[in-house]
Amino acid sequence: MINQLKYKCLWFLTDLMKVASPRNRIGALTYVGALAGVLAPASLSHAADYQWTNVTSSAAFAARDGAGALTLNGKMYLIGGWNPSEKINFPWITNNEVWSSTDGLDWALEKSNTFKSGFDASADWEGRHSAGYTVYNNKLWIIGGDANQRHYQNDVWNSSDGTTWTQVNPGNPVPWGPRVLHHTLTFNNKVWVMGGQTLSSLAPLPSEYNNENRYYNDVWNTADGVNWSRVTEHAAWSPRGMIGGSVVFDDKMWIVGGGTYETPDVPGRLFHNDVWSSVDGENWTQVLSNAPWQPRQYHDVEVFDGRMWVIGGWNWGDLDDVWSSTDGINWEQLSGTPWTARHASSAFVYDDSLWIVAGSVMQNDVWRLSAVPEPASALLLLLGWPAILLRKRTMATAAG
């Protein structure tokens, strides 16, 4: 209906310009400008189109999945990652290098990989992937890690530039370990960790676990990375992890989908497509029990253009669908994904765009999603503002 009105306005303007006097032409422009002020903003905010751009198919960094993706001080940072078949850049399965970019095309190596022969664990963080990554107090943070080295990484590190890193908790392991695949975000001036699990197939369990893997739905937070508080031992949502990125939206934390790995205790993987939100981490509201998108794990979630986004993932096969929502209830699918289906990619929100980098396809590609205003709305806005200014100038001349 709105589109029909917009085009009728344009037809009216074209016909009137052919026969109208100069004064009536000004009136017609003012009329269309007024309609533009009413119709265009609604269209631009609720029906904007989006377009993918392949920024590069061969970035300077090696292909990887599970790399951290953080934005700080005008740069995108790609942190660590996993590629067991590439022994030059990943001699020990994962690495600890850091890359940055201001445009997605040119990437600079901020920190070389030291996770190889001669590695000093007291001076640098172990290589890892699918760890907890967040920006807090104007620094990049790495919270915990994986279990690919036959142990759980219970350390916390931060950096103001991606090059020099400081261990926040030396000799003081996080109290919520051991766990991997946890969800991490920043909210209300604290760092939050929630969910995750143990994986005895990769790392031995503590003796007190009696050889039973743990699946977590607890919630923790910290103001300094050292002192942690358990907000709740069992949140209302079922245990899960494998959610890349984070969603803080409408002054709430959100859990969107996710899943668990199989273990000897639970032989099958679990996949979820429910949506939950909380204002305090203790009390959770189920916003939606079954979203229209397929249950998934290893997907990315982000907030971009006033919407929550779900991107790709895995459910016994890589996914390439992209969905967004303004309320967590009503979801719209973005059609025509041009990139190869993938999971464990790295998602950024940067420079008024949503970015997807690398992932399980083991390609070093970079993709950018940007909002594209509808042509009719843009034209109406172009017509509207000059009309208003012209009207004011005419009235001022008459008054003088």
Q: In terms of domains, do 93 and 208 share one?
A: yes
Question: Would you state the pLDDT for residue 20?
Answer: 54
More confident residue, 391 or 200: 200
Q: In terms of domains, do 38 and 145 share one?
A: no
Distance between CA atoms of residues 369 and 320, nearest Å: 14
φ, ψ dihedrals at 31, nearest 5°:
-60, -45
List Cβ neighbours of 341 (8 Å cut-off, separation of 6 or more).
312, 317, 318, 319, 320, 361
Q: In terms of domains, do 55 and 185 share one?
A: yes
Q: How confident is residue 388, by pLDDT bands cut at 50, 70 and 90? A: very low
Query: How much of the chain, in percent, has pLDDT values that exceed 90?
Result: 80
Q: How confident is residue 265, by pLDDT bands cut at 50, 70 and 90? A: confident
The residue range of the domain holding 23 is: 2-46+376-399
Nearest to 307 by CA among 328, 278, 285: 328
pLDDT over 50 at 6, yes or no:
no
pLDDT digits (tens, 9 = 90+) for 306-331: 999 999 999 999 999 999 999 999 99
296 beta partners: 272
Provide the CATH number for the domain around residue 222.
Answer: 2.120.10.80
pLDDT digits (tens, 9 = 90+) for 247-260: 999 999 999 999 99
Count of CA atoms in the C-beta half-sphere (13 A) of 118: 2
Q: In terms of domains, do 287 and 195 share one?
A: yes
Q: In terms of domains, do 363 and 380 share one?
A: no
List Cβ neighbours of 137 (8 Å cut-off, separation of 6 or more).
none
Q: In terms of domains, do 326 and 361 share one?
A: yes
Q: How confident is residue 14, by pLDDT bands cut at 50, 70 and 90? A: very low
- Mean pLDDT lowest for which of 105-109, 126-130, 206-210, 280-284? 206-210
Q: How confident is residue 234, by pLDDT bands cut at 50, 70 and 90? A: very high
pLDDT over 50 at 172, yes or no:
yes
Quick one: tokens of 291?
Answer: 């979203």
* Residue whose token pair is 């669908």: 321
pLDDT digits (tens, 9 = 90+) for 70-114: 999 999 999 999 999 999 999 999 999 999 999 999 999 999 999
Per-residue pLDDT averaged across 123-149, rounded? Answer: 98
What's the distance, CA 119 to chain centroid? 31
Q: How confident is residue 47, by pLDDT bands cut at 50, 70 and 90? A: very low
Q: In terms of domains, do 146 and 267 share one?
A: yes
Question: Would you state the pLDDT for residue 322?
Answer: 98
Per the structure, how many domains does the chain have? 2
Q: In terms of domains, do 94 and 208 share one?
A: yes
- Mean pLDDT lowest for which of 37-51, 66-80, 349-363? 37-51
Instruction: Return mean pLDDT, the chain.
Output: 88
Distance between CA atoms of residues 356 and 368, nearest Å: 7
Q: In terms of domains, do 241 and 388 share one?
A: no
End-to-end CA distance of the chain: 42
- Mean pLDDT lowest for which of 114-123, 339-348, 385-394? 385-394
Q: In terms of domains, do 120 and 158 share one?
A: yes
Quick one: tokens of 48?
Answer: 């904007």
Question: Would you state the pLDDT for residue 373?
Answer: 79
Angle 22-46/2-19 helices, nearest 10 degrees? 160
Per-residue pLDDT averaged across 286-295, rounded? Answer: 98
Distance between CA atoms of residues 28 and 115, nearest Å: 69
pLDDT over 70 at 59, yes or no:
yes
Nearest to 294 by CA among 273, 263, 323: 273
Q: In terms of domains, do 393 and 272 share one?
A: no
Distance between CA atoms of residues 24 and 34, nearest Å: 15
Question: Would you state the pLDDT for residue 1?
Answer: 36
Q: In terms of domains, do 221 and 365 share one?
A: yes
- Mean pLDDT lowest for which of 14-18, 176-180, 184-188? 14-18
Residue 59: exposure state from Cβ atoms within 10 A (0-12, 13-18, ≥19):
buried
pLDDT over 60 at 43, yes or no:
no
Distance between CA atoms of residues 280 and 10, nearest Å: 50
Q: For 378, which DSSP code?
A: H
Q: How confident is residue 11, by pLDDT bands cut at 50, 70 and 90? A: very low
